[in-house]
Amino acid sequence: MFLTGVYVLSLFTFVVTLPSELRIGGLFESIHGFHGAAFNVTAEIINEDQSFMKDVRLEAQIETVPPYDSFVVAEKVCELVSTGVVGIFGPQSSDTTDHVQSMCDTMEIPHLAYRWDSRQRRGSCLVNLFPYPPVLAKVYADIVGEFQWKTFTLLYADDEGLLRLNELLKLFTMKPYHVTVRQLDEGLDYRETFLKMKKNGEKNIVLDCPAYILYDVLMHAQQVGVMGDDVSYIITTLDFTTIDLEPFRYSGTNITGLRMVDPENESVGKFVEVWNKHVAENGDEELEEITAENISVEQALLHDAVQLFTRSLYYLDNSTEIQSKILSCEKQSNWEHGYSLINYMKMSEITGMTGVIKFDHEGFRSNFMLDLIELTFNGLRKKGSWNSSEGLNLTLAAGEDTPQVEVMSLQNKTFIVMIALTHPYGMLKENKNSLVGNDRFEGLGIDIIHELSLINGFNYTFKVQEDKSSGNPNPKTGKWSGMLGEVLDDRAQLAIADITITREREKDVDFTSPFMNLGISILYKKPQKTPPSLFSFLSPFSPEVWWYVIAAYIGVSLLLFVMARISPLEWTNPYPCIEEPESLENQFSLNNSFWFSLGSILQQGSEIAPIATSTRLAASVWWFFTLIMVSSYTANLAAFLTVEGKSVAFKSIEDLANQNPPVIKFGAKKGGSTANFFRYNFFTLEGFKFIHISENLAVHA
């Protein structure tokens, strides 16, 4: 580690006026217990370093604080300054950090942080070693641009994650980018979120979540199918490489993240050595030994913060005599060297575990370098790097970023390949009698094996499975039958046919990617159209409607008869030549009333015409009713005569199984996955006759 600057060593000698013991204070939450250990380990490394501060010992004073209790944190700060600490490190909680920063500004005590903070401000006593958020957002934007994403999803876990992604979102507000923002479900189950993403076809994902839930999030994504060759992830956490990603190596998913701690860094090796020694000597069960590959960013940043502070303090002491000072929160007092030390740190440049530590003119760490890491079949692999001056730099060529899986050589080997004579996968040629060996067969499966043999240079011999059975395990012995049994018993090495990939088969047999995807369908003969019956003319109306029409017909006829009898106008002279007739005649007799109503229904006229106003009104209402009924009947009759009725023979599997006697014969390929599916999965349905369907499957296979 080197501090930039010009020192004339031949003319001047550094005179150290620092006290023999320097106290630095650390405020760490109980949930971050390893921070205190990293604090002590770094102090031990500095005390063992003979290159500077030979006569000064660094004393680390640690206080454990609750994450969100500002009052307790304030008390701990007062306790630390009363012991004469010259700098305070931590805590990590955003609520308590702001309170500590305010107190340090008042007393001019350097406050060093190593956390993501979107509210960093100039002119304070805070020195934050975490990369400046707007610059970090540009890193992710450069990766998105390199991947040429036009549509992607920003997936975050909490409010702080949304703030982080908001910086990235600002860079993609203009067209042609289409950005979807989603939040992970609360709790420990994230499958529902990924199911929604799968339904919407979201393939490009920027994932922001804490490192401690990253494994579960990716596992749930894999369980619901949001992984594969067409899915890509950009992980924003800088602890990406510390997570166990072994379960996702062979998913084919493009998982890319960033690394800030280079495992080959000399400072990293020294830290790992002292840490593991510290763990062995103290026997703390909460701490574990670490490697250079799984050091967290917070551990590394805390180490670098202590290194930056002590080296700046040491070199500043050569120009100004620095002494620690006991302060009190009850009195208005400050440390006169505080701002000088803070400004010196912001102008310094050292190399630590997180690379070059350098601040810009505003005091933010905007100059840093990150490694671009991707997950491959062979594990994590460095694909490139990013730095503030050059941006994103990929070190792998386009053809090198997809590692090849080690494949056993197939050259000049001979394999026995199982086939079934099932059209169109495997068939006998028409002139089979004049052919021998593999030349007797043709079909899709035959052609695939032939082309594979040309590519990989192997030989093959086809063996026919006479019963065409793919294979099933014996429930008692576990021994497989059919083609799969031949392969498992090493009587054949390969099998190609219409074999369905099932979970049970995958336990014992390795399958290639399917060359054809099929579904299960139920086929049955279409019922023939039956000739119309004698009374099919009644079909347009239901029986109830017909009964209502008959009742209306009778009622109207009787009503006309009664009204005509009552009305004097309906009584007429049958002989107009006789002025004083002895009797009058009424045209609406009972028979004529029924005849008049029937003629109206059949759209036929009659010589009977109502005379009185009452009978005319009743007849008009009846005529309007018959007009509507006849029009509806005519339209429905035409539809019934032209549209063929659909008859459904059965609606469910239960209908087939419960036939008594069985009219529709049903079945599936004997020994196939479809038959097994019905045999082992549907017997639990209420009222289902498992024995009956099994017999049908066996007979009609």
> Residues annotated as binding site for L-glutamate?
500, 505, 673-674
Helix residue spans in 82-170 (DSSP H): 94-107, 133-147, 159-170
Query: Do residues 15 and 78 lie in contact, with contact meaning Cβ atoms separated by under 8 Å?
Result: no
Among 183, 195, 190, residue whose Cα is nearest residue 219:
190
Give the count of beta carbons closer than 10 Å to the beta carbon of residue 503.
Answer: 6
267 and 1 in contact (C-beta within 8 Å)?
A: yes
Structure tokens at 318: 């050569």
The Cα 632–Cα 541 span in angstroms is 9
If we measure between CA atoms, which residue out of 674, 680, 672, 701 comes closest to residue 469? 672
- Distances, alpha carbon 425 to alpha carbons 431, 441, 498, 515, 559, in Å: 18, 10, 7, 11, 79
C-alpha to C-alpha distance for 344 and 529, rounded to whole angstroms: 96
Residue 334 CB neighbour total at 10 angstroms:
17
373 pairs with which residues across the strands?
257, 382
Pairing of strands 204-208, 232-235: parallel
The single-letter code of the amino acid at 510 is D
Classify residue 416 as exposed, middle or buried by CB count within 10 Å of its CB (0-12, 13-18, 19+): middle
d(CA 587, CA 265): 121
Which amino acid is it at 405? V
Distance CA 61, CA 2 (A): 26
**What does each C-alpha distance from 219 to 189, 202, 222, 247, 666 come to in angstroms?**
10, 17, 5, 8, 41
Please tell me the distance from the alpha carbon of residue 264 to that of residue 262, in angstroms, as a whole number: 5
Cis peptide before 531 (omega within 30 of 0): no
Residue 422 CA: distances (Å) to CA of 292, 419, 438, 466:
57, 9, 16, 11
Residue from 480, 467, 490, 457 nearest 419 by CA: 467
**Helix residue ranges per DSSP H, 206-296:** 211-223, 266-282
Identify which of 114, 138, 325 has the alpha carbon closest to the alpha carbon of residue 236: 138
Task: Say how many Å lie between the first and final Cα of the chain, rounded.
Answer: 78
699: helix, coil or strand? helix
Cβ atoms of residues 191 and 223 within 8 Å? yes
CA pair distance 75, 85, nearest whole angstrom: 15
**Alpha-carbon gap, residue 684 to 679, rounded angstroms:** 10
Distance CA 502, CA 679 (A): 15
Please name the residues in contact with 590: beta carbons below 8 A apart, sequence gap of 6 or more.
557, 561
Residue pair 314/57 in contact (Cβ under 8 Å)? The answer is: no
Provide the annotated binding site.
500, 505, 673-674
